[in-house]
Amino acid sequence: MNKKKITLAGRMAIALVCALICGGIFMAVREGLNAADKAETWKTINNILFADITANASALGIFYIIGQLFIRALSLIIVPMIYTSLVLAIIRIADASKLRRISFKTIGLFLLTTVMGLALAAIVGIIVYNTGAFNTVIEGLEASSGSTGSNPLNVILNIIPSNIFATFQTNGSVLAVVFLAVATGLAMNTIGVSKVEEFKKVLSQINDIVVTFLNYVVTKFGPVAIFCLLVRTMASYGISYLKPAVAYMIVTVVLLLVYLLIAYPAIVAIGAKQNPITFIKKVAKVAIFGFSTSSSAATLSLNTKTCREDMGVDEEITSFVLPLGMTINMDGTAIMQVVATLFVAGVAGFDVSFPQLIMIALLALVASVGTPAAPGSGAIVLFTILSGVGFTSDAALLAYSLILAINRPIEMLVTALNVVGDATTSVVVAKSEGLLDEEAFNK
């Protein structure tokens, strides 16, 4: 008798449930040992299982190592995957008018969903701010130096690299990689793909290798890595870190969940005229994976596979929309930045006027576009926004320190929102171009 094979989505769901249970147990153990003046016992457990071995020379960090190996394996081929998939996508869309049309629809929908998210965050955030709920008293935190603030418009300059080889050496120059891919694809179309057939073949072969590698890593190691990443997150961030800013966390989580579970399904229902419940069911594993890894880049391969195979989106659309979305579509990041900035303003005693609120939203829009698709980047970019509106007093830096301490769970949910937003756009654009297999979507 053959046993029915559990799907990847099923294994991820099982990993998520097990991780929440084990993480809760470790969190309770942590709080219990600390309350019983047995902090050293917890320190030993933490060093063996959860500690960051790059910051602790004597730690074993089993869960940390497993999680980081998985994320590094995925990060390894972010640049070649983005470059090859975008170049090949543009080559496939040889019709210049069709390429312009798809580009316009994609970027327009990205902008629309981000502006909608910013409006929701600004309205709810300012209401909560005016109630005084963000006037949290922070004790025992030292001012954080954060990162050096910079003009968000630097994002525009960084789109065009000054050195093509340096661009491919780091995952932090994704916008530049996108520019090079688009420029290469357009140049090849102009020259005539037949004249550069060998280069196209090389790109196709690299892309096949990348996709095969990613599928293997995700399928074979994804559920185990999800378990390790989530358990470590819960065990490392105890209750004491969550108490001081419960208002910020509740507001941000509620807004993100509302947008994730209501706004995106509504967009699919209205824009693509497809069943939103079916969409939620099929995109759930992408959201779980994004939540666990806290990296849009690491989730790109699974998102591509899900959109193509489960939702019937043509490869012509997924290979263009999803890599671009991973780079510039950061709805969740933008929402988090607005609420976090208002939280800092409330804690530090700054008055927020309507023009300042608009400035916060605009800075969040620009800064979110340049946010690297990697864990921890959102809280760092926040410092740029705080600098832009002048919230840089000692009290503001204390509040910023608190956000750095508690923001890991928030950023995990932010990533889930970002990747589902990319999938939403791919479905809507595919439907508008007649490239959505509705039978596959509703299967």
Task: Choose between 403 and 153: higher pLDDT.
Answer: 403
In the block, residue with structure tokens 């040889």: 94
Amino acid identity for residue 173 in this structure: S
Task: Choose between 104 and 175: higher pLDDT.
Answer: 104
* Segment 357-402, tens digit of pLDDT: 888 888 788 766 655 555 555 655 677 678 777 787 777 777 776 7
Q: Is residue 59 classed as helix, strand or coil in its secondary structure?
A: coil
Task: Report yes or no on 182 lying in a domain.
Answer: no
Q: What CATH number does residue 392 fall under?
A: 1.10.3860.10
Specify the length of the chain in residues.
Answer: 443
Q: What was the pLDDT predicted at 140?
A: 47
Task: Report yes or no on 272 lying in a domain.
Answer: yes
Percent of the chain with pLDDT strictly greater than 70: 86
SS3 sequence of 260-300? HHHHHHHHHHHHCCCCHHHHHHHHHHHHHHHHHHCCHHHHH
Q: What was the pLDDT predicted at 160?
A: 87
Provide the domain count of the chain: 1
Task: Report yes or no on 228 lying in a domain.
Answer: no
Tokens of 216: 């293997």
User: pTM for this structure?
Assistant: 0.72
* Segment 4-38, tens digit of pLDDT: 567 766 787 788 789 889 988 998 898 888 888 88
Interval 231-256 mean pLDDT: 77
Tokens of 374: 């990697």
Average pLDDT, the chain: 82
Chain CA centroid to CA 265, Å: 18
Side-chain-side CA neighbours of 95 within 13 Å: the count stands at 5
Task: Report yes or no on 22 lying in a domain.
Answer: no
Angle at 349 between CA 343 and CA 352, to 5 degrees: 70
Which of 51-65, 330-344, 367-381 has the weakest average pLDDT?
Answer: 367-381
In the block, residue with structure tokens 């003046």: 37
In whole angstroms, give the CA distance from residue 324 to residue 321.
5
Percent of the chain with pLDDT strictly greater than 90: 28
What torsion do the CA atoms of 194, 197, 203, 207 make, to the nearest 10 degrees? 80
Task: Report yes or no on 127 lying in a domain.
Answer: yes
Question: Could you list the residue range(s) of the whole structural domain that residue 336 is in?
Answer: 96-168+239-441
Torsion sign across C-alpha atoms 72, 50, 371, 413: positive
* Segment 338-351, tens digit of pLDDT: 999 998 888 888 88
Q: What was the pLDDT predicted at 138?
A: 52
Q: Is residue 431 scored above 90 in pLDDT?
A: yes
Q: Is residue 145 scored above 50 in pLDDT?
A: no
Phi/psi of residue 57, nearest 5 degrees: -65, -25
DSSP code string of 328-341: H--HHHHHHHHHHH
Task: Report yes or no on 409 lying in a domain.
Answer: yes
Mark out the alpha helices in 76-196 (DSSP H runs).
78-92, 96-131, 154-159, 164-167, 174-191
Model confidence band, residue 433 (pLDDT cutoffs 50, 70, 90): very high
Q: What was the pLDDT predicted at 142?
A: 44
Task: Report yes or no on 396 lying in a domain.
Answer: yes
Q: Is residue 146 scored above 50 in pLDDT?
A: no
In whole angstroms, give the CA distance from residue 164 to residue 181.
11
Task: Report yes or no on 225 lying in a domain.
Answer: no
